[in-house]
Structure 1
């Protein structure tokens, strides 16, 4: 069967996974490593771009208009942000709170699509935000220094950033070890890298090949904490923290696949859980997800990495 691309241990038997987001139902062979537990695609299709149609969700985010803070707030921007970490309970501040990223820090969002997140961060007070995505048609310049580059990480200046972010991007990379080395090069000493990815957890045990986060063939690797530690160490990083952030999606989405219902409907729109499940059922799924997160068995996690000198 071959060896794992992460730890070089032996792979288990191959198993087919259907493409179910778009509903083509084509089968792609995957295998799970007997060592680190990573689930990985065995052969990446040559036409992988066909599985990212123009209605793919990351290509269609509404971009908020940029709002420049008053001069007084810009002068005291780092003090403002520190205060917000203590007071604000929003997704972005919850996400950055473990590393206390400052407003003056230079931030790069990798695989950012059209740049929705960096625009939101600018409006919250982060003044040096950029993005890069080599698969977009062209770059964007939103003003105030907020830009999205159509570039590979190797094309950016080394030691330029305090923080790099990957939001559900790393699992789409065919050579994650190489990409982490590129990230290490881009970061300043003691800089941080945040990677948010699906991980092998209880949902895999329950649903197996119907687990929605497998997302064949777009997801090349479904990682574990063990595989992430191996990759991080080889690239010169240390993992400081892992926070599980899975949601009810792991249940209601996988249940749809069990019923042979694709995620995208015939109108090329993403299905809503409220069309298939009662409020009580969805609340129960959220409670189950919360419990799994506490047990470190959720199917999604945030990894906080620090660059070693």
Structure 2
């Protein structure tokens, strides 16, 4: 690591002396090196120069395969009862906080989150950076009917079918208003995250929410594993935020953080361990190896979630009232990724 004065933070604008790092691509096994710097003021870890051929680093299977998911669709009867169960669960008062154990076992985590947000089956939901639409198809299986997806790296044709609209492109295609906008491990891939947050804010209904799930650069995992940290993922992750950087970005976009949920990510920790022990390994880590490495660290990861020092977080962004200070809200844990 060395120091540089030549870079300006793309999140907070700081031109102080920042820490400079070099990290290698590992997912595709190219081991190509990329320069990053970490802002001294907001802590955002960001690539020094965005590659002109960035799309080349996204293989066609980087996102979930829509055909694979569709082959596992539930039958009409099962889907009918799922829809009725979802409608009932979203309408009855169960309380807030972590979901009851029975609920957590019987239903996907996103239903509890949607219930807390006051959504219903007719709410308009946008998955920005939807990949091949896996999460939108999953939502449809649980009865949601107004689903939209946009992704600049979508490897498929634009489609509209049974309540789902998928488009290849960026935020300039958006012309609708939404009750919920999801960026599930997307913001770290964006070349201009501030510009996109500003545009998405304009597409939010007055009571709407933007959910942003993303890696956290000042987490214990980053401090422990350094160049082997799985969530770094160069060069695809262009900006790895801290909670402070996210609060600043939200404020500059006319938003504020209402709540934060932390998630250590057992697969990511196991992968980071593997990279640290096998830095030149070109074969992807197997599921068996992931499972073996997860068991002894689960308790530790739960502790990191509780103290807000986990590798990932989900930020609830809402419209900021006039003259509202840019401060993070409550810190909660327990849900993981948006589509959990």
Residues paired across the two proteins, number: 300
Deviation at residue 82 of structure 1 after TM alignment? 3.1
Equivalent of 1:284 in 296, 303, 325: 296
Deviation at residue 251 of structure 1 after TM alignment? 2.2
Q: Secondary structure at the match of 1:165?
A: strand
Q: 1:164 and 1:277, CA in 2 relative to 1: closer, same or farther beyond 3 A? A: closer
Can you list the C-alpha shifts for 1:148-195, whole angstroms capped at 9, x where unaligned? 11232222214x211100111110001100010110111111211001
Aligned to 1:218: 236
1:274 aligns with 2:257: no
TM-score, structure 2 as length reference: 0.80
Q: Distance in 2 between matches of 1:100 and 1:46?
A: 42
Q: Distance in 2 between matches of 1:271 and 1:57?
A: 18
Q: 1:54 and 1:137, CA in 2 relative to 1: closer, same or farther beyond 3 A? A: closer
Superposed CA RMSD: 2.6
Equivalent of 1:17 in 23, 30, 36: 23
Aligned to 2:90: 81
Q: Distance in 2 between matches of 1:262 and 1:102?
A: 48
Q: Secondary structure at the match of 1:34?
A: coil
Q: 1:153 and 1:258, CA in 2 relative to 1: closer, same or farther beyond 3 A? A: same
Q: Secondary structure at the match of 1:114?
A: coil
TM-score, structure 1 as length reference: 0.88
Matches within 5 A, 1:1-309: 1-9=6-14, 10-59=16-65, 62-64=68-70, 65=73, 78-83=87-92, 88-89=103-104, 90-141=108-159, 143-158=161-176, 160-200=177-217, 201-261=219-279, 265=283, 270-275=284-289, 278=292, 281-308=293-320
Q: 1:247 and 1:141, CA in 2 relative to 1: closer, same or farther beyond 3 A? A: same
Q: Distance in 2 between matches of 1:128 and 1:237?
A: 24
**Alpha-carbon contact 1:190-1:306 (below 8 Å) kept:** yes
Q: Distance in 1 between matches of 2:120 and 2:36?
A: 41
Q: 1:66 and 1:122, CA in 2 relative to 1: closer, same or farther beyond 3 A? A: farther
Can you list the C-alpha shifts for 1:39-75, whole angstroms capped at 9, x where unaligned? 110011111111112232445672233766659x67x
**Alpha-carbon contact 2:86-2:142 (below 8 Å) kept:** no
Q: Secondary structure at the match of 1:96?
A: helix
Q: 1:171 and 1:276, CA in 2 relative to 1: closer, same or farther beyond 3 A? A: closer
Bigger Cα displacement from structure 2, 248-257 vs 40-49: 248-257
Q: Distance in 2 between matches of 1:11 and 1:217?
A: 22
Q: Distance in 2 between matches of 1:15 and 1:207?
A: 13
Q: Distance in 1 between matches of 2:290 and 2:180?
A: 39
